[in-house]
Structures are given as structure tokens and as C-alpha cells.
Structure 1
């Protein structure tokens, strides 16, 4: 039998056993994984999993789901509370361009995959690479699954202050990774307004901006009860 890259022998990224994902899950007694097929492993991993699912009425159905595994990610909202600004990125995103965005130049918080780092280390790396910012204090905000119907990725979301003194590098991303990233600084109020007009339409960025308004550095003082 011919060895299969990604299963029996390393694929282009040195991975094996990619068909094992999910086979040892025991947290839900109503789900029994029966088979895992690899559909694509060019960079990230596309799998088709067959499992038995016991429904609420007791019947058992056999179902299939395709999952796209690109690893987990991390992102950070950089803010200057004193000046009332946030620092975001703008870069071309083909997937949004092909699905209705006017030009694909997407405004969002600095972000990237963990690539073996813990979330805090990863987000410090991405802020430095993309925006040239060296992060000091870092606040964990939440961790969310962005597209739970098909994508396994969980995004760890942080917030951190920045200032002119913390912008120590050129930013712009890594040219070797095809990145061409522009720093976009704007008043926080403008960023919130852009959510309503659709000029900021990235989910993680929308959530972090709304968190900043409701519970974070730009929350308004609670009204007096007197």
C-alpha cells in the first residue's frame, strides 16, 4: 500500500496522522466518530468526518461534516485612551473580495495564527510585524469561534494600549509571506461609526470595538443614581 502524505509519511509541512483528529473525542456521549477522510492538505487541512449522532428523540443518524483546520489565531485591539484613537490594519483579503467586498482592502485588528506560540506571544509577534508596535500591558478579552459550522479556528482576542513611544518598528507585515499591510489610526468614535456603515465589517474587529465601548477603555462612566 502506497504511503499517504499527511497520514503515514510527512506532508510538505512535516505533518503525519492528520486523519486522527476527532477519533478520540469522548466529551459528548451522543457523538461517535466513525471515519475521518483527508480532502486537502496543501497548507491547512480540510477533512470530511463521518459520525453517528444520537438526537434528542433518541434516534441515531449517521452524518458527515467537512471541517477546515487552519489552527487557532490571536488578535489585539490597540488603543490610545488619552488621545481617543485605535490602531488598525488595512490589507488585501481575497476571500472577502470574491464575496462582495468592493476592493478587498479590509480594515481589521492586527491578527495572525498561533504557529506554535501561546496566544499572548503570538499577538505580540503580530503587532510587531504588522504595525511595528511593541506591546507592554496585554489584556485578555475573550476567545471565540468565528465560523463554527465549518471552521475549527478559535481566535484569542486581546486589547492593549499603545502610544507613539511604543511604535518602534516599520510594520507592514512580512514580505516573504506576501503581506503588504498599512497602519490605519483613527478616532475610536469613527471606528464605531464605520461598523454601522459597513466600512468595518471584520467580525473580530467589530466585537473588540464594541467591547471597548461597553466594558473596555472607552466605556462611558455609569450614570449617577442620584
Structure 2
């Protein structure tokens, strides 16, 4: 643990969906001065996200669903295009993403590759997100997907040409950070090819 941080108090502000806490702590700065600070931290657990890609067809699988926080902050429809993702719950990251992939997209995948981990909003959210990629083929499709009925997800599954997905970042149709990171990872590591402009 960091010897420059001493937690004084933790107060639960909300435990309705996930847990929002107010943390009061003393922080020793580099110059030796100790400051009393307070921060709020939202704990929703950790998660996993995956980009499904098909090197033969040069396509990726994405999802579209309603996201209330984006609706409250300028997204006129509230609909967001994203890579398949979910919370770990009691699973490890690999088991979680295989389960979420089948529930959300309808593809049953066996092999996944973890590429990195990241804190997505470290100023306020405790979550670490585990990032995966996996190849898919039409033979892996076992259902229409759409998410778990009891979780009211109402997910639309999209199969998009990779070049178009990159264009969707540029023109603003894709604004989800985890999805942008995975698409750019795929481009950087040449998992799929980007057509060269004439």
C-alpha cells in the first residue's frame, strides 16, 4: 500500500445499483506536506470487453444499445455502438467474456486473446477493464444474441466492415472509448487490413 495515503473514513453514499463511496484521506505530497482530501469513488466491479474479427471477410462484430448516461450528456438518441462487454461478476475475465459474447452477439467462441487491461475512468470509477480479441466465423453463430432477457439489455448485433468501423470513429458514430481502443489495436497490430486509398 502507498505509505503516503492514510484513509480516515469511508462513507457509503449509495448502494442502490452499485456502490458509491466518499473516501476521506490524508495525502503526503512530494514536498512532505500532508493534505486532507475527500473523493467519491463508484465501485461497479471489474469488466471485460472483446473485439470479434473475421480476417476472411474483413469484418468486426459490434453491438448497439441504449445508454442512459450518454443520453443525459448530449447523445440525442442514447444509442451507443460498442464492442461486446460485461461485468466479471464471480467469473475470471476470460470466462466472463466468453459468456458475454454468446449472450450479446450469439457467437460461441473457444479461443480468446487478452491484449491489455485499463482503468477507463480512474478519477471516479474503480473498474479495471480486461481487453480481448478473438477471431469469429459464421459457423460459431449459435443464436441471434441480443443480451440476457432478465437484464433488459435489448442489444442489436452489428457486423461491420473493418474500414467502415474505423471511419465511424472519425465521423463520430463510434464514441465509446473501449471500442475505439480495440479497433485501433486491431489496426495497429494489423489483425485486419485497411484498404489503401487510390
Give the alignment's TM-score, normalised by structure 2: 0.96
Distance 2:190 2:130 in 1: 16
Distance 2:8 2:193 in 1: 49
- Answer 1 or 2: higher relative contact order, Cα 8 Å, separation at least 6: 2
Distance apart, 1:105 and its partner CA: 1.1
Partner of 2:44: 70
Q: Which of these residues, 102, 112, 118, is aligned with residue 144 of structure 1? A: 118
Partner of 1:182: 156
Distance apart, 1:176 and its partner CA: 1.2
Distance apart, 1:101 and its partner CA: 1.1
Q: Which of these residues, 155, 162, 166, is aligned with residue 192 of structure 1? A: 166
Q: How much is the aligned-residue C-alpha RMSD, in angstroms? A: 1.0
Partner of 2:28: 54
Distance 1:216 1:115 in 2: 32
User: The residue matched to 2:108 in structure 1 has which SS?
Assistant: coil
Partner of 2:90: 116
Alignment pair present for 1:129 and 2:90 = no
Give the alignment's TM-score, normalised by structure 1: 0.84
Q: Higher Cα Rg: structure 1 or 2?
A: 1
User: The residue matched to 2:175 in structure 1 has which SS?
Assistant: coil
Alignment pair present for 1:79 and 2:44 = no
User: The residue matched to 1:107 in structure 2 has which SS?
Assistant: strand
User: The residue matched to 2:150 in structure 1 has which SS?
Assistant: helix
Distance apart, 1:219 and its partner CA: 5.9
Partner of 1:202: 176
Distance 2:187 2:16 in 1: 40
Aligned length: 194
Contact 2:58 2:193 in 1 (8 A): no
User: The residue matched to 1:170 in structure 2 has which SS?
Assistant: coil
Partner of 1:18: none
Which of the two has greater strand per residue?
2
Gap runs ≥5 in structure 1: 1-26, 221-226
